Amino acid sequence: MCPLAQPQTKYLEIVKKLNKMLFSGETNEFELKRLKKEAENIKRTSPARSFTLLGMVACLEKDIDQMHSHHKNALHYSGDGQTYLQNYAVSLNALGIVDKAHEYALEAYEKEPDDPIVIGLLAQITNKLDMDDEFQKYVKLFHKLTGKKHYLVSFPEDDGETLSKKLSAFDKLMDEQPDLIVEPDPKMMKLAEELIEGVDIN
């Protein structure tokens, strides 16, 4: 095994676990501490990835100062890499710092204007900011690039089938883009809290 293979595998493993917490809205304090320690352990070989993970942990802990610090360190070590800009935007958005999330998401979009992941994120953010023209722009771009409607357009009503579809989409996203932080969907979390029979959210 090459020297970087093991840290990368560990990184993707931690990301997937943290993403599930972020997406479901359910956190396990003991597990979060364990994953935080594992994130620290890859800092020597993969500092940008380590700091992204730590920023994500801080987001889940609702520690805004540490979230900023870790994500900014990730940007420093990655040279303002597109994925790291996007991940910072997601953490900001999740904590309700939407204006700043918009700024970083736009930077990520400028670096990769054909990336459907960041375009989908911008659709979410502009929807929250009531930027109707921008929202329409990004959902149209998303549809053009993916051939699919953005979930904010696809699922106007919330029901058990909607939740199941969103969870399936989440699993697919984790397989295709495992190093990305995923923006939690408040509507999905509300449905999850209702414990719809037959839907496993863990």
Residues 138-176 have pLDDT tens digits of 999 999 999 988 888 765 444 445 545 555 565 555 555
Q: Is 201's pLDDT higher than 70?
A: no
Q: Is 4's pLDDT higher than 80?
A: no
Q: Are 86 and 107 in contact (CB under 8 A)?
A: no
Task: Look up the pTM and report it.
Answer: 0.73
Percent of the chain with pLDDT over 70: 72
Q: pLDDT value at position 197?
A: 38
Q: What is the pLDDT of residues 103-126, one digit of tens each?
A: 999 999 999 999 999 999 999 999
Provide the pLDDT confidence category of residue 26 given band limits of 50, 70 and 90: confident
Helices (H), the chain: 5-24, 29-41, 47-60, 64-78, 82-94, 98-111, 116-128, 132-146, 151-154, 160-176, 186-193
Structure tokens given for 61: 């802990």
Average model confidence (pLDDT) for the chain?
A: 80
Q: Which one has a higher pLDDT value, 201 or 124?
A: 124
Q: Which CATH superfamily is domain 5-193 in?
A: Tetratricopeptide repeat domain (1.25.40.10)
Q: Is 75's pLDDT higher than 70?
A: yes
Pairs from 109-115 (Cβ < 8 Å, separation ≥ 24): 111/82, 111/85, 112/82, 114/145, 115/82
Q: pLDDT value at position 8?
A: 65
Q: Which one has a higher pLDDT value, 188 or 25?
A: 25
